[in-house]
Amino acid sequence: DWTMGAYREEAIAKIREQVGDAKVICALSGGVDSSVAAVLIHEAIGEQLTCVFVDHGLMRKDEAQEVVGMFREHYNLPLIHADEAELFLGELDGVSDPETKRKIIGKLFIDVFQKHADEIEGVKFLAQGTLYPDVIESVSFSGGPSVTIKSHHNVGGLPEKMGLKLVEPLRELFKDEVRALGRELGLPASFIGRHPFPGPGLAIRCPGEITPEKLAILREADAVYIDQIRKHGLYDEIWQAFVAILPVRTVGVMGDGRTYDYACALRAVTSVDGMTADYYPFTHEFLGETATRIINEVPGINRVTYDITSKPPGTIEWE
């Protein structure tokens, strides 16, 4: 892509000029925006950049390893894997209120990120994958309530508190342009096409109390569901798809026995920007096959439902 090739060169020159020989930190979430920003900045200033991946223990199956592996092995990017699952799950123990969950996760995220940032000498900049729509939104909504809740992954307020300046090389770009830039930088197509994943992770797909047992079941069910969607060639038609594990157990029958296991809900929506969404019209065959696979392959689940709520009045996530 000629345009993105030129943009890349220009952006690199600007980053070098802005940063000089100072150090930069970046919170890597595994999402497309922060990943593209990190790779671009790494190309500009190399080892002056350190990324911190705050692993809250609420990622999907194998996700943390995949993200960390990709950046360390393929990009040789200095990356701290802050494995803080115990801390997060400990603080979330017994908590079922959605807003309380979000607040706990947001606060711990900043604590952990700051702890690691403080250990790096000479840090003067914080890098963020802020896009043009984020810039517009924060202007038009300034002072008002945030509609898309991204607060915890763009570590709001931290730069001032830590005396850091911002590096935001994607500020002029729209989502599709970020994807094009990501391809230009050699990020794998499978990575660039990934569905968005919320900062609070699986916590908001586990209504009610979060337990390690429920998270383990949720990860397996979600992996089977996404595998089904990929096998049927539907992944790229869908904005987001995931499983939510419900805080209810139901009676079932399997083989000769009675089961008493969790019910889950499948969610899949189409959307342009996440602000509104329609549920995805899977065929009954697809839904039936997927339910059978989840119940057969995932111990702990004996009932599968499909969420047919659009947004509004529903939200995409369950919490």
Which residues contact ligand XMP by CB under 6 A? 148-150, 152-153, 196, 198-200, 240, 274, 311, 315-317
**For ligand XMP, which is the closer residue by CB, 76 or 146?**
146
Residue 310 C-beta: closest distance to ligand XMP, Å: 11
31 annotated binding-site participant: yes
Residue with smaller CB distance to ligand XMP, 199 or 207? 199
29 known ligand binder: yes
Closer to ligand XMP at the Cβ: 59 or 295? 59
Closer by beta carbon to ligand XMP, 70 or else 149:
149
Q: How far is the CB of 146 from ligand XMP (least distance, A)?
A: 9
CB of 76 to ligand XMP, least distance (A): 27
140 is in an annotated binding site: no
The residue written with tokens 């990356």 in the block is 79
Q: Which one, 12 or 234, has the nearer CB to ligand XMP?
A: 234
Question: At its nearest, how many Å lie between ligand XMP and the CB of residue 23?
Answer: 26
Please report how close the Cβ of residue 198 comes to ligand XMP at its closest, in angstroms: 3
Would you say 33 is a known binding-site residue?
Answer: yes
Whether 55 has a binding-site annotation, put simply, is no
For β-strands 257-270 and 278-279, DSSP reports them as antiparallel
We find the least distance from the C-beta atom of residue 281 to ligand XMP, in angstroms, to be 19
**Do residues 318 and 267 lie in contact, with contact meaning Cβ atoms separated by under 8 Å?**
yes
Pick the closer one to ligand XMP by CB: 7 or 113: 113
Annotated ligand binding at 30? The verdict is yes
Binding residues: 29-35
Binding residues for ATP: 29-35
